[in-house]
Amino acid sequence: MLRIECPWCGVRNEDEFSYGGDATLERPSDDDSIEAWSRFVHTRKNPAGKHTEHWQHVNGCRAWIVVERNTLTHEIYSTAPASPILPAGKKSTRGLNT
Amino acid sequence: MPNSTQTAPVRVSPLLVINREAIVDCQGLRLEQRPTLTAIQVLAFAKQFDGVAKAITKALGVECPTKPGVCNSKDSIQVTWTGPNNWIVICEEDDSLLAKLKMAVGKKAAVVDQSHGRCGIRLSGVHARSVMAKNCALDFHPDFFKAGNSALTSVAHMNALIIQVDDESYDLFVARSLARSFVHAIEHSCAEFAKA
Amino acid sequence: MTQQFRTAAGGLIDRSRPITFQFDGKTYQGFHGDTLASALIANGQHLIARSFKYHRPRGFMTAGSEDPNAIVQLRTGSRKEPNTRATTIELFDGLEANSQNRWPSLAFDAMAINNVFSPLLSAGFYYKTFMWPVSFWTSVYEVFIRKAAGLGVAATEADPDHYEQCHEHCDLLIAGAGPAGIAAALAAAATGARVVIADEHPLIGGSLNSERLTIDGKSGVEWAAEQMEILSKMDNVRVMTRTTVFGYYDHNTMAAIEKVNDHVAIPAAGQVRQRMWTIYPKRVVIAAGATERPLTFGNNDKPGIMLASAVRTYINQYGVKPGTRAIVTTNNNDAYRTAFDLHNAGVQVLAVVDSRPNPDEHLAAQLAAISIRLITGKTVGSAEGRQHVAYVQLVSTDGHTSDPERIDCDLIASSGGWNPNVHLHSQSGAKPVYEDSIASFIPGISRQDESSVGAAKGSFHLQDCLDQGHAAGVDAAKMAGFKVKPKAKKVATAKDEGTYAIEALWVSPTPHNKSYKQFIDQQNDVKVSDVELAAQEGYDSVELLKRYTTQGMATDQGKTSNVNALAVLAGQRGDPVPEVGTTTFRPPYVPVALGVFAGHTVGNDFMPIRRTAIHDWNVKNNAVFIEAGLWLRARYYPQKVGDTLDDCYIRETNNTRGNVALVDVTTLGKIDIQGPDAPEFLNRLYINNWLKLPVGRARYGAMLREDGMAFDDGTTSHLSENHFFMTTTTANAAPVLSHMEYYHQTVWPELDVVFCSVTEQWTGIAIAGPNSRKLLEKVLDIDISNEAFPFMAVGECKMNNITGRLFRISFSGELAYELNVPADFGEQAWTELLEAGKEMNVSSYGTEALGTMRIEKGHVAGSELDGRTTVKDLGLEGMANRNKHFIGKHNSQRPGLLEEGRLQVVGFKSLESGRNLRIGAHLVDDSIKLDSVSQSQGHITTTTYSPSLGCGIALGLLKDGASRHGQQIDAVFPLDDEKVRVEICHPVFIDPKGELVRA
C-alpha cells in the first residue's frame, strides 16, 4: 500500500487515488499529425526509477496531482497539484520513504 | 393541468426503514440519523476562491474555511472545505439557504443543491473514535483530528465526508444511495460495545 | 491421566485453575496458562501428527509459532479450524482437537507405507511422476495426492464468528515484546511519543518468560510483568498481546493479526474473534527475537526430539517435563542452559554432546559441578525408536562413524544455533546478510524506516538486547520530533549470562555412513538427500531449490529449516553460505485466516449496495432486481405467481409501446456544469457541436477517449445561461466525471467552468409511450403540448408542489419524457404518477423491457461501446464535427480504424421461428465448421425477443456490417452446438425516421 500525500488533504492510502499515467507528456495541438497524436497516446518510456505521473485523489477532494515516484522502490519524492490555477495546494517535498 | 390544492411534499430519508430513535444506543456509543438537512455545494469559478469565501462568510456569519480539512460552524450551520475550489454548507432544513447563497456569490460561483443527495448520521460517545478507526484509515488522535476538522475519505469502503463535532462526536455524510449500506456497516462495527 | 509430567512447582500456569480438554476423543486435564502442546506433554502425549508425505510419527519440535509438526484440527462444527499449531493454541475449557493426515488413527497410520516407498517420493516427484497419461490426472493422480498429502479439513458451514479490521497510527511500532522490545517501548514512551508494542503471546516478556534470567535484581518474569503494568497505564502506549505483526508493506504500512478471542471456546455476544490491524508507524523497531534451528541427523524427526530452547520453555514457562532421561546435543554455548534447567527440574541429563572439540571451559566446569557428562567432538548421528526416541547413536564429527556410542534416552534437546528473525526486515525490501560469527543471517541495510534490535539483530546477550532496545526507542522518538530529556531513564541492567559462541555443524555424519532420513523441512518432508538431488539435477539456485523440493513452502515458511537447507545447498555447490544467498521472505509471517482479511465484508455485505428512492416501492411490488455496478435496479415486475421473465418484459414492453409506462432511471450519471466556458468545454468533450444549443433544449452527445475509441454517450441539457446538465450511462458515471476533471485540471485549466456530480440529488423517472403526454398533463403545471414542449425540450415544472425538471427525451423510441425530482420526493412522485395513470392502466417497467426497447430502436449501449469500437463502427460518425477540436479526434482517424474489415454495428433478425439469439454467438458464413471461430465475422452483443416484430432480434458487431444489410449469416454458439440463421439489417428496427418521439 503506497501512502500518497495529497497536496490538500495530506497523506492518504493509495486506495483513495486512481492512477492517471505519465504527467510529462505534451499534448499535441489540433494542427499536429495523426502520427504525433498516436505517439502521444501509445508511446511510453516505462522507466525503471523516477517517474512523474498523474494521480487523482478520487475518493477525497477529487484533485488531480503530479506525483514523482520511483517505480523500483516506490519511494515518492514529491507531490504537487496538477492544475496551475486551483488555489492553496502546497507542494510537498517530504519524502515518505527516506 | 392539475388542480393546485395539493399538500406540500414530505421529504423521505433513505434510512426510512431503520428509522428508529437511535440506530445504536448503548453505554458510551450512540449512532443516529441527523434530521433532514439542507446541503448546498458552492464551487468557485476561476480566481474567485477568496472572493467566494468572503461572500459566504458575510452571508452566513460563519468563517468560510480556506484551508483543507476545516469545518467552521455556528448554530446549526456547518461550512466545510470540500475541495480546492469548493465547499459544502450544511444545516437543518432551510429552504432559503440556496437563494441566500446564490445571492451572496453572484457570478463568482456555482451554487448547487445537494440536500437530497447526502445522508447525514452522527456517531458519538467515548467509543466513537474506536468505531471510526475500524472503518477509516485516518488518524483520529486528538492531536491530529479534533472538533472543527473535516475530511473527505473512504469510510467503510464508501466515500464520506467526516466532520468532527466535538471531542466525542463525528458527523458522517454519504451518498443517499449508499446510506443503508453505510449505516449497516457502522452499526456492525459498534457491536462489540453494545453489551447486552 | 494425571499430568504425571508436571514439575513439582513453578511455571506461569495457574495450578488452581484446571482445564478439561479432548485430543483425538480422549479427555485430558491441563491448567490455565497452558498451550495445547504443553498440556499434552504434561500428560505424556508426544505423538501429535503424521508427516505430510511419509506419514511418519511426529511430536512437538518447538514451543511456538515456528513449529513444523504440531499441526492439528481445532474445534468442531462451523468453528472447525484445520492446520492449527498446538504449540500456539491457548488451552480453554472444552477445547477439542484432533490429529489430521492419518488413517485410521494417529498411532496406526496405514499411509505410513509411503515411508517404505520413499525413494519414489523424492525431490520433484510430482513433476517426475504425475506426467502422463493425461487421463490419469483426474482419475488416479489427483485422488491419490489428495488422500495422501491431505492436511486438515475445512468446515463446511459458514463461520459464525465476527472478524474485523482496524487502523492505528503511531510514532513507533515495536514488533515483539521481549526484553529488547520492552526497553524500546519504555525509552520512546517516556518522551511522549505514541508507541504500539505487539507480541504474539498472551504475556509480554518473550524469552524472559521461558528462561531463568535476572534484570535489575528481579526475575525476568517479574520484571516483564512490572513493565507491562507501567506501559499499559500510559496514554501514549498501546500494548497489544496475542497480536502478531505479520506484514511489512510499502511506506511503513504494517499488518498485524490480533487473536482477540481465540483463547475462549466461543466469543461473547458482539465480540470479535480476530482483528486485523493496519498500522501506520513513523518508525518500526523489529524486536522479533530469534528462532533456534535443529541439528540435522538421522531420524531427527522422531517424537521426543525437541529444540533445546523449547525444552526450557516447557520446563520454565509451563512447568512440564518433556522427558525423563535427556541428551542435549549442540554446536553452541546456548544449549547448556537446557542441561541446567532440566537438571534443576529433576530430569536426568545423561550427557551434553557438543560437536565442538573445545567447548567453553566455564560451561564445562558448571556441568562438571553437577556431574553431567560432557561429550565433545561428537554429535548425534541418529535417533532410534518406533514412535518415540528410545536411544541415540553418537558419532564423531571428524568423520569417525564406525563405532557409534549408544545412549538410551527419551528426550533429545537439539540446538544447531540461532537464526535472527529477519522476516519483517526482508519483507520491508531489505536484504539480510550472512554473519559468520553466529553462522546465520542478520539484518542488512534498511530500505524503510526500520531497525532491528536484540536477538532479531543477532545479539544474543541480554544486556545488549536491553541496550539496543533502549537506544532504538530513543532514536525513534527523536526522529518523530520528541525531545529526549538528558536524564532519560537509565536502561535496565541484566545479570551476565555468559557469551554466545557457535561452530556451525550443518549435517551430522551418520553411524557407519549408512543412509538415513535426515530431515530439514519437517513440515514438507524435505530431507538432506532431496536438497542434494535437486542440486545434482541442476536446481542449485536457492529460488529453484525452494520450488523443486518445496523446501520452506509449508505453513511454517521454513522458520526452523531454511538456513539449514541453504547450508546444505552451499555444501553441494562447494560455495560459502553467503554466496548461495537467501530467499525473500513474504508476508504473512504466520498463517492468517482469510476471514480476517474480509472482515465484515462477507455475504450480503460483500459490496455496498446502492439503492434508488424507488427501491422500497420496488420491493413492495415484487420487483426482481438486477445488479448494475453497485446499484440494484428493478429488472421486471411479476404480477402473479408463475410470471416468468419473458411474460413480464413482453407485457411491460407492450404497455409502453401501446400505452404508457414508467421506469426508474435514477442510476444514470448526472453532472451539473456551470461557467462562462461551459459550452466550449462541452464542445471539446463531445464530438458534436455544443456552442449554439439554446437554453431550454437538450442534445444527444457522444464522447471519445483520447485514443479515438467511443467512451460514453448521453444527453446534455442547457438549463439556463452557462448552466448545463449532463447525463452519462450508469456504468460510466464515475469515469466520465474523472475524465472531465482530468481535462479541466491538467489540459485546459484556462477554461472557466466548474462541475460536480448530482447523481444522488435527483430521482429520474422516464414516462414513455403514446399516452405519456396525457398522463403528465394531469399532474404537471406546465404546457407540454408538442408545440410548447417539443422533442428535446427541457424545462422546470411542478408536480403536486414537487419542483422538478422535465426533459423530452426518449430511450424507448416512443413519445417519452424524463422527470427528475429531488430524491427525497422520488417515491412520492413515482406513486403519484402511477395513481394519476391508474385509469389509463399505466404500469412500471424494468431494465429488461428497457433493454428490449433500446435494441428495437438500435440505441448502442455498454455492450457495443466495448472500448474497441469507434463512432464510425457504431454508425454515429455523422455526429462528429471535424472542423473543431475534440478529445480523440485525431486518433479516431488512424488508418487502421478507417480501413475496410472493421466490425460495425448492425441489427439481426432470427429467421427461425421461435428461436432467439444468444449474446456472444459468433457470426460465420459457413456454419458447417462449427469450430471455426477463427473465421468469425463478428459477434452478437445484445439480444431480445421483440414483441413489436414478433421474432428474436439482436444487435451485434459484424465485419463491414453497414454494407451488408439484407444478407443472411449464421449465428453460432459452439459450446452448446447451437446455430440460428439470421438476417442482417439496419440496427433501428422500428420507426426508423423517429416520428413517434416527435409526435
Is the CB of B14 less than 8 angstroms away from the CB of C762?
A: no
Return the pLDDT at C56: 92
Q: Is B67 on the interface with A (CB under 8 A)?
A: yes
Lowest-confidence pick of C111-125, C194-208, C338-352, C561-575? C111-125
Average pLDDT, whole number, for chain C? 94
User: In chain A, positions 1-30, which contact chain B (CB-CB < 8 Å)?
Assistant: 8-10, 12-13, 15-16
Lowest-confidence pick of B165-169, C462-466, C675-679, C935-939? C935-939
Q: Is C253 on the interface with A (CB under 8 A)?
A: yes
Lowest-confidence pick of A66-70, C117-121, C782-786? C117-121
Is the CB of A34 less than 8 angstroms away from the CB of C447?
A: no
Return the pLDDT at A85: 87
Q: Is C882 on the interface with A (CB under 8 A)?
A: no
Q: What distances in angstroms separate CA C502 from CA C364, C456, C508, one per listed residue?
A: 15, 17, 15
Q: Is the pLDDT of residue A60 over 70?
A: yes
How far apart are alpha carbons C83 and C813 in whole angstroms?
62
Predicted confidence (pLDDT) per residue in C501-517, tens digit: 999 999 999 999 999 99
Return the pLDDT at C130: 61
Instruction: Give the residue-averaged pLDDT of C867-896.
Output: 96
Using an 8 Å Cβ cutoff, are C907 and C984 in contact? yes
Instruction: Kindly list the residues from chain C whose CB atom is less than 8 angstroms away from the CB atom of residue B180.
Output: 609, 611
Q: Is the pLDDT of residue A93 over 90?
A: no
Give the HSE-up count for residue C69: Cα atoms under 13 Å, Cβ half-sphere.
28
Q: Is the pLDDT of residue C560 over 50?
A: yes
Neighbouring chains of A at 3+ CB pairs under 8 Å are: B, C
Instruction: Kindly list the residues from chain C whose CB atom is less than 8 angstroms away from the CB atom of residue A42.
Output: 707
Is the CB of B67 less than 8 angstroms away from the CB of A88?
A: yes
Among 3.30.70.1520, 3.30.1330.10, 3.40.50.2000, 3.10.20.90, name the CATH number for the domain at B37-113. 3.30.70.1520
How far apart are alpha carbons C771 and C837 in whole angstroms?
9
Q: Is the pLDDT of residue A98 over 50?
A: no
Write the DSSP assignment of C732-785 as a string of letters. Answer: THHHHHHHHHHIIIII-TTS--EEEE-TTTEEEEEEESTTHHHHHHHHBSS--S
Give the HSE-up count for residue A97: Cα atoms under 13 Å, Cβ half-sphere.
24
3-state secondary structure C649-663: HHHHHHHHHHCCEEE
Q: Is the pLDDT of residue C977 over 90?
A: no
Residues spanned by CATH 3.30.1360.120 within chain B?
A: 16-35+117-193
ipTM for this prediction:
0.96
Predicted confidence (pLDDT) per residue in A23-36, tens digit: 999 999 999 999 99
3-state secondary structure C786-842: CCCCCCCEEEEEEECCEEEEEECCCCCCCCEEEEEEEHHHHHHHHHHHHHHCHHHCC
How far apart are alpha carbons C887 and C701 in whole angstroms?
13
3-class DSSP state of C517: coil
Interface with B, mutate which of C760, C778, C781, C784 (most B CBs under 10 A): C760
Return the pLDDT at C479: 95
Return the pLDDT at C976: 87
Amino acid letter at C227? Answer: Q
Return the pLDDT at C116: 72
Return the pLDDT at C137: 65
Q: Is the pLDDT of residue C603 over 70?
A: yes
Instruction: Give the residue-averaged pLDDT of C386-392.
Output: 96
Instruction: Kindly list the residues from chain A whose CB atom is less than 8 angstroms away from the CB atom of residue B84.
Output: 8, 61, 63, 81, 83, 86-89
Return the pLDDT at A94: 40
Q: Is the pLDDT of residue C333 over 90?
A: yes
3-class DSSP state of C365: helix
Q: Is B83 on the interface with A (CB under 8 A)?
A: yes
A18-22: strand order across its sheet? A18-22, A50-56, A64-70, A76-81
3-class DSSP state of A31: coil
Instruction: Kindly list the residues from chain A whose CB atom is less than 8 angstroms away from the CB atom of residue B47.
Output: 85
Return the pLDDT at A96: 35
Using an 8 Å Cβ cutoff, are B11 and B19 in contact? no
Instruction: Kindly list the residues from chain A whose CB atom is less than 8 angstroms away from the CB atom of residue B66.
Output: 87-88
Predicted confidence (pLDDT) per residue in C49-74, tens digit: 988 888 899 999 999 999 999 999 99
Return the pLDDT at C248: 98
Residue of higher predicted confidence among C2 and B110:
B110
How far apart are alpha carbons C124 and C526 in whole angstroms?
11
Return the pLDDT at A92: 46
Of A30, A38, A74, the CB nearest to C894: A38
Return the pLDDT at B21: 75
Instruction: Kindly list the residues from chain C whose CB atom is less than 8 angstroms away from the CB atom of residue A83.
Output: 744-746, 749
Of B47, B49, B152, the CB nearest to A9: B152
- The rounded percent of chain C whose pLDDT value lies above 70 is 96
CATH level 2 (architecture), domain B16-35+117-193? 2-Layer Sandwich (3.30)
Return the pLDDT at C688: 97
Q: Is B139 on the interface with A (CB under 8 A)?
A: no
Q: Is C165 on the interface with B (CB under 8 A)?
A: yes
User: In chain A, positions 39-98, which contact chain B (CB-CB < 8 Å)?
Assistant: 59-63, 81, 83, 85-89
Instruction: Kindly list the residues from chain B whose CB atom is less than 8 angstroms away from the CB atom of residue A9.
Output: 68-69, 151-153
Distance from CA of A45 to the nearest CA of C (A): 18
Q: Is A8 on the interface with C (CB under 8 A)?
A: no
Using an 8 Å Cβ cutoff, are C329 and C417 in contact? no
Lowest-confidence pick of C330-339, C756-765, C784-793, C916-925? C916-925
Domains in chain A with CATH codes: 3-81 (3.30.2270.10)
Predicted confidence (pLDDT) per residue in C533-547, tens digit: 999 999 989 889 999
Average pLDDT, whole number, for chain B? 92
Is the CB of B154 less than 8 angstroms away from the CB of A16?
A: yes
- The rounded percent of chain B whose pLDDT value lies above 70 is 93
Neighbouring chains of C at 3+ CB pairs under 8 Å are: A, B
Q: Which residues of C904-924 are buried (b: 16+ CB within 10 A; e: fewer)?
A: bbbbbbbeeeebbbbeebbbb
Predicted confidence (pLDDT) per residue in C727-750, tens digit: 999 999 999 999 999 999 999 999
Residues spanned by CATH 3.30.70.1520 within chain B?
A: 37-113
Predicted confidence (pLDDT) per residue in C910-928, tens digit: 999 888 899 999 999 865 6
Strand C81-85 relative to strand C71-74, pairing: antiparallel
Q: Is the pLDDT of residue C132 over 70?
A: no
Distance from CA of B64 to the nearest CA of A (A): 14
Predicted confidence (pLDDT) per residue in C933-962, tens digit: 568 899 999 999 999 999 999 999 999 999
Strand partners, C958: C904, C938
| Dihedrals phi, psi of C235, to nearest 5 degrees | -65, -30
How far apart are alpha carbons A56 and A16 in whole angstroms?
8
Domains in chain C with CATH codes: 14-125 (3.10.20.440), 162-290+420-479 (3.50.50.60), 294-416 (3.50.50.60), 511-588 (1.10.10), 615-667+761-853 (3.30.1360.120), 669-757 (3.30.70.1400), 900-998 (2.40.30.110)
Question: Residue C239, Cα to own-chain centre: how many angstroms?
Answer: 26
The set of residues, in sequence order, having a beta carbon less than 8 Å from that of C417 and lying 6+ positions away, is C292, C293, C331, C332, C334, C438, C439, C440, C502, C504
Of C734, C741, C894, the CB nearest to A34: C894
Return the pLDDT at B2: 52
Q: Which pLDDT band holds residue C106 (cuts at 50, 70, 90)?
A: confident
Is the CB of C270 less than 8 angstroms away from the CB of B4?
A: no
Return the pLDDT at B34: 87
Is the CB of B188 less than 8 angstroms away from the CB of C605?
A: yes
